[in-house]
Amino acid sequence: MEKQEYMMRMQIIEEEARQIENQIEMMDQQAGELVQIKKSLEELWQKEETPEFLANLGKGIFIRTKALEKELFVSIGKGTVVKKSPKETIEIITNQLKRVSETKSEFMCRINELQVEMQNLAEEADKGNNEKEGCEKDCECGENCECEDDCHGEECGDDCRCENHNEKK
């Protein structure tokens, strides 16, 4: 592989790693919100009486309110809302946290795989440079030639010949 090919492949890997890191960051934020909601639900419904709390109307505006009942309305996707008890809602949040954690672990594994792939590419590129450097610097013809022997950047033997010029190195 040419040096440019190694560089392009490494850039692609770096971009994929950046995208995954961004997704991990978003998952961390989502997990933090879920933990806070779970904690709030646990605190609100510890007491027997109907809880009083501040409801967020949006843009930092809150109103003090009291729950009319202990049932919660939970969105389950595609515009569908169902009634759930606080305990059931906490279970849903716990399952969501578990899925976020599992997905984050998968992403972390992928980042590790990308790091290994990047390291391997760097080693291959370095090895390729060493192979050519070893042959080129010892070539008496002065051209950028490669040795017919597999010297891998080490000293070429007496029988090593320049492929292009068939001269002894």
Which structural domains are found in the chain, ordered by start? 3-138 (1.10.287.370), 139-169 (no CATH)
Asked whether 161 and 148 are in contact (CB, 8 A), the reply is yes
- Enter the tokens of residue 118: 């990047």
Q: How far apart are CA 43 and CA 36, in angstroms?
A: 11
Predicted confidence (pLDDT) per residue in 49-65, tens digit? 777 888 889 999 999 99
pLDDT along the chain (169 residues), means of 10: 84 95 96 94 78 88 89 90 93 96 96 93 77 50 55 52 53
Asked whether 20 and 110 are in contact (CB, 8 A), the reply is yes
